[in-house]
Amino acid sequence: MKLIEKANQKALSRMLSADPVLIDVIPASEAIPDLKSHMILHAGPPIAWENMCGPMQGAIAGIAKFEGWSNSLEDAFEKAAAGAFDFHPNHHFDAVGPMTGMTTISQPLMVVENRKFGNKAYCALNEGLGKVMRFGGNDDSVLERLSWLRDDFGPAFGKALRSGDGIPLKHLVARGLTMGDEMHQRNVACSGLILRELAPALARTSSDNEELAKILAFIGGNDQFFLNVGMAMGKAIMDPVRGIEGSSVVTAMCRNGTEFGIRVSGTGDQWFTAPVEMPEGLYFPGYTEADANPDMGDSTIVETIGLGGFAMGASPAVAGFVGAGAASDAGNFTRTMSEITTGENPEWTIPAMDYLGVPTGIDIRMVLDTGLAPTINTGIAHKEPGVGQVGAGVVRAPMKCFEQALIAFAESVGVK
Amino acid sequence: MRSVIINEVRHGFYLDSVALMRYSKTIASMDGVEEAALMMASPSNRQIMSDAGLLNDVSVDAEGGDLIVGIRASNTEAAETARTEANLILDQPTTSGLGEAWRPKSIRAAVKINPEANLALISVAGDFAAAEARKFLRRGLHVMMFSDNVSITDELSLKKEARDLGLLVMGPDCGTAIINGTPLAFANVVPKGSIGVIGASGTGTQEITCLIAQGGGGISQTLGVGGRDLKDEIGGITTLMALDALDADPDTCHIVLISKPPAKTVADKVVARIGASKKTFTVCFIGATDWDLPTNATFASSLKLASENALGGKALFANFDVNTIAKPASAAKVCGLFSGGTLCAEIQTLFISAGLSVMSNAAIPGVDTLSENSTAHTIIDLGSDEYTQGRPHPMIDPSVRDGALETAMADTSVGIVLVDVVIGYGAYEDPAGHLVASLGTSLSGSTLVIASVTGTDGDPQGRLSQIAKLEAAGILVAPSNADAAELALACLKLAG
């Protein structure tokens, strides 16, 4: 027991001492040398083509066409079914991706370096709202935007970042929390703060005013721009926490649209999976629960570091948006999550909760002891590929993941 | 004299400027402090602090994400005191900002938001109670375990662990306690006083504390120990700790110990502990007729006698004369239907000491177990396991008694039905009303119904109003359980 506490304190201190900095945007092939042609990284735990949900398959068809591995979506579907592509989780390559989470060689990836531990993590650029690949969108407009991100936006963004010492994220997130972001469903403040940090460097490194204006407008017009930055930050914070012997702290939570998967520090890189649940939430006009795809994406990495549903108290507006109840109840989500976490983050605090630090370091023992599954704030994708986001809501991590993890964890510490 | 400037930098430590302004004001208003500011080290903030003469070399390298504590004071001592205070404020645990709607689900969170709590009441299902109790003990809280069906092995290991930690485990199956005037689980509203009660039983403790209250006395503390504490296996761990606690308590002058007769080896330890005390004791081992005790302790064979002794020998209800209300019983048999286990045991004691033959499902020594075709008086404990499996206790749900009442009232060999009515916190909202309704028209028959009410007027149900309901329905009401036994005996006698 004492050893577990000690190991968990070690895990917590690694999380709290992390120093994530957004330093660059580079092609995936450079960021991840092991990423080869015809390899497709996806969100969530490992999954085979035939088990993928509609949006995931749609995104794969789209990204295969985008990479030039198929002439058409139909062809891509056939090739995928015939085993022409290698599928792997982003998490196996230091990366994360929202919703479908497509990562392939030519995509630009943001690089977040954890300067305390020297590790790096990667995430693709956020495409904006509406019809986008992360929700399974794959038509020409989606692919054209991806091309622009690859050819223009990404290189310009990277150049601007390289002209300085990068953007430290910890302090930026702390400010975002005080401005009403919880970094999963609400990123408007942090997106603005990033834009403010970045604009001078972009201006300095750009020679084309029109292109510069387009880039600034793209960031400025995308309230969720920071989500992908926050996710890479989350991955960069959590990776040094992996593999601490005797620690029952969760190091990753993610979903592939079919299964939810978690990893626990003390059990290394083993996945514990269970079928994903349906989010409960609010739908955009014209859509209902019947249109919704089950829970999906690597974005739950932000809950893993104490943000998103864990920081709901910072973001009363989100509580209403995701259908979690009255804005005044937002703090209760955070308080409840503090019942399953190892500690609080003294630097990420919530003013409206008397500067309570966000609950940090999910302990699988406490999850099972209290019966309280982590609360996740999430976007809801349409179940048909290509339609996009149809709502937002709250979903619980399936208890079964934690049950399996606890059994394996118990064995890892010598309890049979 | 020159001012002293102290700077301190916290790297990567962010706090909202509103909070920092508040803290700055606190520090700046301290004695000897001329000016102070806690600010994030942005260029504009640095300028402000510099203009205010608050910066020195220490903070030269501070950047936007760092916090600067800048203090200018008239002397070093004042500056250092202010620095200490600033660090205290910055490091203080953030309070939870607890909303009314939120209730913690885990013990950890509950203890965290109530750091002063030192007692936990556990009433989860028995299989889980021991694990929950350990969580509290390890957080330094005493435990009252209302849960039953906890294994005796678990009880022993919990009590040993608690003893090592200097904590009390009251229970398992501890139904009654009154701590610092707060009634816990099944307990009554009694005045504060100098009599401490240690009980291995619930209703026995309730009856004694209520009788003491009716006799003008008051209670300092009432501690429960659980029904098995004085068995060999447990060895009286909690009883001995409770004796230590009340012996050391300056507000307790006299101590009442109530239990079933304990195991010999345990009794010896308990009696020795009593003998080592300078205080006086009343010992009531229900079912025993006498016990060898040191000179500072008096044995009482009934709850009423124990209460009278605790009151310094004052006779309770001296004006109550059974003969004024006794009526001849229509048949020779008494059927007692009790919700309180110790009240049931007290009746058995009084009946056998009057020379009657008695049988019970919870037989005390000298009483037979239940059998068909016996003419012995039947005294039933409806709170014992065979009646409460999967049902609430009859003190919570008095309908548990309804079926047995109906049978007894219809039995022509039964002349008297004897019942208890237990009120107080935890008990049913109107047990007398339920009893009357349940008896219904059978009350107009020839069977006598005799009752007593365990409780006080301070209880939510009100003792007097409960008695009034019973009397209005023609039920004969005695002022105590022991007096109810006397009344029944008198009714039997009148019938010849």
CATH number for the domain running over A242-412: 3.90.1700.10
Q: Is the model's pLDDT at A62 over the cut of 60?
A: yes
The domains of chain A are located at 21-233, 242-412
Taking residues A151-161, report their average pLDDT. Answer: 97
Domain ranges, residue B36: 4-91
Mean pLDDT of the residues in chain B: 92
Q: Do the chains contact at A336 and B98, CB–CB below 8 Å?
A: no
User: What's the gap in Å between the CA of B109 and the closest CA on chain A?
Assistant: 6
- Same CATH topology for A21-233 and A242-412? no
Asked if the structure places residue B70 within a domain, the reply is yes
B262: left (phi over 0), alpha (psi -120 to 50) or beta: beta
At B399-423, the pLDDT tens digits run 989 999 999 999 999 999 999 999 9
Interface test with B, best of A1, A355, A364, A372 (most B CBs within 10 A): A355
Q: Is residue B291 domain-shared with residue B438, that is, in the same domain?
A: no
Instruction: Please tell me which of the candidates B12, B16, B109 has its beta carbon nearest to residue A351.
Output: B16
Give the number of C-alpha atoms closer than 13 A to the C-alpha of residue B24, restricted to the C-beta side. Answer: 21
**Closest alpha carbon within chain A to B128:** A369
Q: Which helix (H) or strand (E) holds A218?
A: helix A209-220
Q: Is B249 exposed, middle or buried (0-12, 13-18, 19+ CB in 10 A)?
A: middle
**Does B361 lie in the same domain as B286?**
no
> Which of residues 20 through 79 in chain A touch B, CB cutoff 8 A?
none
- The pLDDT tens digits for A359-374 are 999 999 999 999 999 9
Domain check: are B76 and B223 in the same one?
Answer: no
How much is the pLDDT for B18?
A: 60
Using alpha carbons, select from A151, A138, A223 the residue that is nearest to residue A189. Answer: A223
Backbone angles phi, psi at A125, to 5 degrees: -80, 145
Task: Check the CA dihedral A27-A32-A37-A39 and report its sign.
Answer: negative
**Is residue B112, in this structure, part of any structural domain at all?**
no
**B385 in a structural domain:** yes
For chain B, report the end-to-end CA distance as a whole number of angstroms. 106
Higher pLDDT, B73 or B391: B73
Looking at B91, B109, B143, the residue that finishes a domain is: B91
Would you say residue B2 has pLDDT above 70?
yes
Our CA-based measurement puts residue A197 at a distance from the nearest CA of chain B, in whole angstroms, of 12
| Cβ contacts of A356 on chain B, cutoff 8 Å | 94-97
B359 and B478 part of one domain: yes
Contacts of B19 in chain A (CB under 8 A): 351, 355
Q: What fold does the segment set A21-233 form as a domain? A: Enterococcus faecalis V583 fold (3.90.1710)
pLDDT tens string B241-296: 999 999 999 999 999 999 999 999 999 999 999 999 999 999 999 999 999 999 99
What mean pLDDT comes out for the span A135-154?
92
Residue A338: which of B64, B101, B109 has the nearest Cβ? B109
Q: In this model, does residue B431 exceed pLDDT 70?
A: yes
In a domain, B76, yes or no: yes
Task: Based on the fold, state whether residues B332 and B457 are members of the same structural domain.
Answer: yes
Share of chain B above pLDDT 70, in %: 97
pLDDT at res. B99: 47
Do B465 and B327 share a structural domain?
Answer: yes
The confidence band for B193, taking pLDDT boundaries of 50, 70 and 90, is: very high
ipTM for the whole complex:
0.71
Residue B485 domain-assigned? yes
CB A176 within 8 A of CB A307: no
Structure tokens at A256: 């592939």
| Region of poorest pLDDT, from A101-105, B60-64, B462-466 | B60-64
The tokens describing B24, both together, are 């700055």
Task: Give the residue among B249, B191, B253 at the shortest CA–CA distance from B218.
Answer: B191
A338 interfaces chain B, CB cutoff of 8 Å = yes
> Phi and psi at residue B494, in whole multiples of 5°?
-60, -35
Return the residue matching tokens 């020795």. B272
Mutation to test the B interface, candidates A177, A335, A360, A364, most B Cβ within 10 Å: A335
**What's the whole-model pTM score?**
0.76
Q: Give the CATH number, domain containing residue B246.
A: 3.40.50.261
Each residue of A264-292: pLDDT tens digit?
999 999 999 999 998 888 777 778 888 99
Given B14, B106, B109, which is nearest A174 (Cβ)? B14
Q: Does residue B305 share a domain with residue B326? A: no
- Average per-residue pLDDT in chain A? 94
Distance from CA of A274 to the nearest CA of B (A): 24
One domain for residues B246 and B278: yes
| B416 and B288 belong to one structural domain | no
Task: Residue A340: list chain B partners with CB under 8 A.
Answer: 106
Cis ω for the linkage preceding B191 (within 30 of 0): no
pLDDT band at B389 (very low <50, low <70, confident <90, very high): confident
User: How many domains are contained in chain B?
Assistant: 3
User: Do B409 and B447 share a structural domain?
Assistant: yes
Please determine, for residue A323, whether its predicted confidence score (pLDDT) is greater than 70.
Answer: no
Domain-terminating residue out of B315, B344, B369: B315
Domain-embedded: residue B140? no
Q: With a CB-CB cutoff of 8 Å, which residues 371-400 of chain A face chain B?
A: 371-372
Question: At A298, is the secondary structure helix, strand, or coil?
Answer: coil
A269 in contact with chain B, both atoms CB, cutoff 8 A:
no
B62, B91, B120: which is the final residue of a domain?
A: B91
Contact: A355, B15; criterion CB under 8 Å? yes
B272-279 long-range CB contacts below 8 Å, 24 or more apart?
A: B273/B240, B273/B243, B273/B244, B274/B243, B277/B243, B277/B247, B279/B246, B279/B247, B279/B252, B279/B253, B279/B254, B279/B255
**Residues B394 and B293 occupy one common structural domain:** no
Say if residues B239 and B293 touch (Cβ distance below 8 Å): no
Q: Which residues in chain A have Cβ-Cβ distances shorter than 8 Å to B103?
A: none
What is the per-residue pLDDT for A324?
Answer: 63
The average pLDDT across A132-161 equals: 93
Closest CA to A324 of A381, A253, A375: A375
User: Which run of H or of E encompasses A39?
Assistant: strand A39-42
In a domain? residue B11:
yes
Answer yes or no: is pLDDT of B71 > 90: yes
DSSP H/E element including A342: strand A341-350
pLDDT grade for B4, boundaries at 50, 70 and 90: very high
Interface test with B, best of A116, A338, A350 (most B CBs within 10 A): A338
Give percent above pLDDT 70 in chain A.
98
Same-domain status, B428 and B338: yes
Across the interface, whether the CB atoms of B109 and A335 are under 8 A apart is answered: yes
The whole-angstrom distance between A370's CA and the closest CA on chain B is 6
Band (B46; pLDDT cuts 50, 70, 90): confident
A261 in Cβ contact with A45 (< 8 Å): yes
* Residue B97 belongs to a domain: no
* Interface contacts (A, B; CB < 8 Å): 73
Q: Do B95 and A356 touch (CB under 8 A)?
A: yes
What are the tens digits of pLDDT across the range A33-51?
999 999 999 999 999 999 9
